[in-house]
Amino acid sequence: MKIVLASGSPRRRELLSLITENFAVCPADADESLRDGAPLADEVVRLSRLKAEAVMQSHPDAVCIGSDTMVTIDHLPLGKPKDRADAADMLRRLRGRTHEVLTGLAVLTPDGGAHTLHTCTRVTFRDFAEDELAAYLATGEPLDKAGAYGIQGHGALLIKGIEGDYYSVMGLPVAPLYTILRDIHAV
C-alpha cells in the first residue's frame, strides 16, 4: 500500500523511516490558523487531518499521514518564532518551567477511513543561564521550531526531563503511528 507523508519536515521523514522506508513525501498546503477558543488538543488533530486531506486530493490511492506539533505553556500556543528576539522571549518563558507539547496525528485511507489521535508530553526546562541561552540562539536551531527549541538537537541541553513520548516532541508519535499502519495492513 502506498504511503504519503504530508510534511516537508526532515524530522518526521526520519521518524517515519523507523516504521517503513516505503513512503513518499508531499508537503501539505493547508491553512494552519488556529480557531479562537478551540481546545489546543483538538486543534492539533484538526490541523493534522487538514494536512492529510490536502495531500489525499493529489494521492487518492494512498494512505496519507498528517501531523502537527504545538508547544503550549499556560494554555497558550507557542509557534515558530518570528526572529531571534522572539525565540529568546519564548525560551525565557519556558526556562525553569514545565510546558506541554501536543502532537496530533491523522492517518487517512483510500477507502475513506480516518484514524486520529493526539499525544501530550510534558517537558521541563532547566533554569539555564543567559549565556547558555545566547549560545543556543547562536546555533540557529530555535528559529524554525515550535516553541523555539528542538529536543533532538542542541535544545536537549536545556531540558531537565520529559514525561511522555519523546518522538511526539520531535513531531511524530512513532509507536501509535506504527500501530495504526500495522492494523490497516499498510506495513
Q: What is the pLDDT of residues 76-121, one digit of tens each?
A: 999 899 999 999 999 999 999 999 999 999 999 999 999 999 999 9
Give CA–CA dist 36/151, Å, rounded.
Answer: 28
User: Using 50, 70 and 90 to split pLDDT, how confident is the model at 29?
Assistant: confident
Q: pLDDT at position 96, please? A: 98
Of the candidates 64, 55, 61, 67, the residue with the CA atom closest to the CA atom of residue 29: 55
Helix, coil or strand: residue 86: helix
Give CA–CA dist 155/110, Å, rounded.
Answer: 38
For the cut 90, the answer to whether the pLDDT of residue 31 exceeds it is no
Q: pLDDT at position 39, please? A: 95
Q: pLDDT at position 119, please? A: 98
Positions marked catalytic: 68
Provide the 10 A C-beta neighbour count for residue 124. 15
Q: Which residue has the cell 495531500?
A: 55
More confident residue, 167 or 29: 167
Of the candidates 77, 44, 59, the residue with the CA atom closest to the CA atom of residue 6: 59
pTM: 0.94
DSSP secondary structure, 54-81, as one string: HHHTT-TTSEEEEEEEEEEETTEEE-S-
Q: Which residue has the cell 495504526?
A: 180
Mean pLDDT over each residue of the chain, to the nearest integer: 96
Give CA–CA dist 185/111, Å, rounded.
Answer: 13
Q: Where are the alpha helices (DSSP H) in the chain?
A: 10-16, 40-56, 84-94, 130-138, 166-170, 174-183
Cα angle: 60, vertex 45, 168; to 5 degrees: 105
